[in-house]
Amino acid sequence: MTTEGNAADKSGPAVANAKGAVPTSSHHFFTISEEAPLTLDSGPTLAPVTVAYQTHGELNQDKSNAILVCHALTGDQFLTGRNHLTDRPGWWETMVGPGKTLDTDRYFIICSNVLGGCMGTTGPKDIDKETGKPFGLNFPVITIADMVRLQKRLIDHLGIEQLFCVTGGSMGGMQVLQWAANYPDQVYVAAPIATAARHSAQNIGFHEVGRQAIMADPNWHNGDYYSHGVVPKRGLAVARMAAHITYLSEAALQNKFDRNLQDRTKVSFGFDADFQVESYLRHQGSSFVDRFDANSYLYITRAMDYFDMAAEYDGILANAFRGTKTEFCIVSFTSDWLYPTTENKAIVRALNAAAARVSFVEVESDKGHDAFLLDEPEMFTTLGGFLRAAAARRGLTSPTRGR
C-alpha cells in the first residue's frame, strides 16, 4: 500500500495528452506504508518511509521517456530551478532543461532525495514512531542498494515499467550501477559518471576524518543534538572542508587561489584565514551546515564506504552484469583523483567481460571530481549523442510538448 504526501501528487506523474501541456516541474512526496515496509541490507525493515522527489517535463503516453537522475552525497532532488528548502539554485542546471542534454522537452526527468537524506526523504532527523523523537543514531545503517530499493518502489508507484535512462555522478553513479545490476530489465541505458564500483581505502579514510570531526563536536551529543536544540556546526563544517578538497584538483586550486592572500597585503602571523584558499574552504564549511543534517552526513558516507559491487558477486564485478541488455556510457575526467579514470575503466572492463554494450569517454578537464557538475562541453556532447542514439532506437523521436 502506498500513499501520497501532497495533493499535487494524487493524480500521479504528468502525462502528455490531447488536452495540452501540464506544468513541467513539480515537487512530490510518496510514502511507503507499514503494510509494505522497506527491507534493508542491515536486517531490519523500515516503515513508513517518505520519499521527496521532483519531476521535470512530461511522461509520454507509453511511459517510455523517463530518466532517473541519482544525486551525489550532498545533492538532493532539486536538479534545476530554485531549491525551495535552501533557496539555492539546482545542482545540475548545466545538464537539465529545455534543449539541454537531459532535455525536459523530450524526457520526463525524475530525481528523488536518497534514503537517509535531509531534504524530505526519511532520514535520521525524522521522527521515529516508536519513540516520538527524531531517530538520531537509532536510524538503521543503510547501503547504496537500500537507496536504490527505495527508488525502485517509487518508479513502480509511477507505473514506469522500464526507465529510458538512469544517470548520475559520484555517489549517483554508484546508484546507477546498482540499478543496472539489480534491475537490468528496467534500465534501457545507463550513464554512470565519475564513479567507481567500490570505495577505495583512501575514500573511506577521508570519510572517516569527516565523521570523526562531527562526532568530536561537543554539540553532537551522540547524535541526539535535536533534543538539545543545537547543531554540531563546527564538526560538520570541518567535514565539508576536508571533503571539498577531494572534489577539486591541484590545478584547479592553484589556478583559482595560488598563494594569494585574503583581504591583506602580508601574513598575520596568526591563525586567521590569511590565504584565499583558507577563506574559500571556511565559506564552504559554514554554508554547508545551514543546508545539511550532520547525522545524514554520517549515514550517507557510511553507505558509500560499504559499497563494493564485486563483493556481492563472488569478487568478480563482471558477474554483476552477466546477460544484461542495458547499454552503458561511462564518463570520467582526467583530473579526478577521488574517482580516477582507472576506477571507471575497471567498470568498462567488467562490462566488456560480461559482453555488455559499453562506450567510454575520458574528458580532459582540470576541474577535478566536480567537473561533472560544471560546464564541460565534451561531457554534454558525449552524453547528448549517447541519449539521442538510444532515443532513436526507442522511438523517442520528437519532444513530448505540444503533441
Distance, CA of 345 to chain centre: 21
* Pairing relationship of beta strands 2-4 and 49-56 according to DSSP bridges: unpaired
What is the third-level CATH fold of 2-198+307-394?
Rossmann fold (3.40.50)
Handedness of CA 185, 354, 336, 146 (dihedral sign): positive
Catalytic residue among 9, 28, 369, 370: 369
Measured at the CA of 276, the angle between CA 271 and CA 277, to 5 degrees, comes to 85
- Residue 170 known to be catalytic: yes
Predicted pLDDT at 84: 87
Predicted pLDDT at 1: 33
Catalytic residue among 170, 249, 296, 365: 170
Predicted pLDDT at 399: 64
Q: Where are the domains of the chain?
A: 2-198+307-394, 203-302
Which value, to the nearest 10 degrees, does the dihedral of the CA atoms of residues 273, 277, 283, 286 take?
-70
- Residue 268 known to be catalytic: no
In angstroms, the CA 400 to CA 65 distance is 9
Predicted pLDDT at 397: 73
List for the chain the helix, strand, coil content (%; round to 5).
40, 20, 45
Nearest by Cα to 364 from 386, 331, 393, 334: 334
Handedness of CA 385, 167, 161, 182 (dihedral sign): positive
| Secondary structure of residue 380 in the 3-state scheme | helix
* Pairing relationship of beta strands 25-32 and 49-56 according to DSSP bridges: antiparallel
Residue whose cell numbers read 564552504: 284
Catalytic residue among 105, 146, 274, 336: 336
The tens place of each residue's pLDDT in the chain, 403 residues long, gives: 333 333 334 334 544 433 333 336 799 999 999 999 999 999 999 999 999 999 999 999 999 999 999 999 999 999 999 898 898 999 999 999 999 999 999 999 999 999 999 999 999 999 999 999 999 999 999 999 999 999 999 999 999 999 999 999 999 999 999 999 999 999 999 999 999 999 999 999 999 999 999 999 999 999 999 999 999 999 999 999 999 999 999 999 999 999 999 999 999 999 999 999 999 999 999 999 999 999 999 999 999 999 999 998 999 999 999 999 999 999 999 999 999 999 999 999 999 999 999 999 999 999 999 999 999 999 999 999 999 999 999 999 766 553 3
- Residue 185 known to be catalytic: no
What is the third-level CATH fold of 203-302?
Rna Polymerase Sigma Factor; Chain: A (1.10.1740)
Residue whose cell numbers read 532532488: 77
Residue whose cell numbers read 577521508: 206
Phi first, then psi: give them for residue 32, nearest 5 degrees. -85, 125
